[in-house]
Amino acid sequence: AQSVWGYDSDNGPERWHENYPMAKGDKQSPIEINSKDVRHDSSLAPWHASYDPGAAKTILNNGRTCRVVFDDSFDRSVLRGGPLTGAYRLRQLHLHWGSSDDHGSEHVIDGVKYAAELHMVHWNPKHGNFAGALKQPDGVAVVGIFLKVSGKHSVFIYFLILEEIDNIKTKGKEAPFQHFDPSILFPKSRDYWTYHGSFTTPPCEECITWILLREPIEVSPDQMAKLRSLSKNGENEAMNPLVDNWRPPQPVKGRVVRASFK
């Protein structure tokens, strides 16, 4: 049987296109962003998130990432503004990270790879449901936040997600995760880059308006170590560290990245 997609040599990003042809499309993500090619767009509005902490439901290790899911059955936690038209519903958030602090993010900024990248996935309810939104160019909006490892002690104490890691060590483990407002993870600055791209995981649908925050948030080495203590495997299998679950940058193919800032 075909091995399910993943990040290993036999099922990783270089082979995804064999089962998911969209992976070779012209609007794939992530990309490398070079400030010299970015265009400041003064017409870009600020973005606003209004999230209901009660919408948070559970946290899950699905063997490929750590994911928090939210109630998206109505406009309860929404993202508005920026490059978007209308309100997009928050559905889930997850992370991508490396086996060491010098890499792990998916987007690369002026050659800089961050230790991790957090994705907050929202979808446009005008397309009826999430599955319908995946088929539309304006179907999904993902806010990307870069994580930088800081030696300082004033690190991300809010990072409640990492407190829950002990309960979801192995693939398939899920724990309640409630009363959580993910907007506490936003950095101070609202500056962002935006461009049109795809999911960075198969089937790699090209339905995403990316909103990448310029200012990284800081985490401690211990917090990164916690993330790396997750296992790709189930509880009755050998521990296989869940690390390096990132797709490398894809061809920009003439796309323009706009910046909300000068």
Residue 149 interacts with, from ligand 0VW, Zn ion, none (CB under 5-8 Å by kind) = none
In eight-state DSSP terms, residue 224 is H
CB of 93 to ligand 0VW, least distance (A): 9
Please tell me whether residue 211 adopts helix, strand or coil conformation: strand
Which DSSP string do the residues of 6-71 spell out, in sequence order?
Answer: -SSTTTSTTTGGGT-GGGGSSS-S--EE-GGG-EE-TTPPPEEEE--GGGEEEEEE-SS-EEEEE-
Q: Is 116 in the site for ligand 0VW (CB under 6 A)?
A: no
Q: Is 247 in the site for Zn ion (CB under 5 A)?
A: no
CB of 242 to ligand 0VW, least distance (A): 15
Residues in 210-229 that interact with Zn ion by CB under 5 A? none
Q: Is 119 in the site for Zn ion (CB under 5 A)?
A: yes
Q: Which two tokens stand for residue 30?
A: 């992530």
Under 8 Å between Cβ of 208 and 141: yes
Site string for ligand 0VW, 133-162 (x = CB under 6 A): ---------x--------------------
Q: Which two tokens stand for residue 216?
A: 């990284």
Residue 116 interacts with, from Zn ion, ligand 0VW, none (CB under 5-8 Å by kind) = none
**Identity of the residue, 150 or 183, whose beta carbon is nearer to ligand 0VW in the bound complex:** 183
Interface residue with ligand 0VW, options 200, 231, 250, 260 (CB under 6 A):
200
Residue 121 interacts with, from Zn ion, ligand 0VW, none (CB under 5-8 Å by kind) = ligand 0VW
Under 8 Å between Cβ of 173 and 233: no
Interface residue with ligand 0VW, options 121, 143, 165, 259 (CB under 6 A):
121
Interface residue with ligand 0VW, options 98, 124, 199, 223 (CB under 6 A):
199
Positive or negative, the CA dihedral 250, 106, 114, 63 is negative
Please tell me whether residue 203 adopts helix, strand or coil conformation: coil
**Identity of the residue, 201 or 231, whose beta carbon is nearer to ligand 0VW in the bound complex:** 201
Q: How far apart are CA 262 and CA 260, in angstroms?
A: 7
Which residues are at the interface with ligand 0VW (CB under 6 A)? 119, 121, 142, 199-201
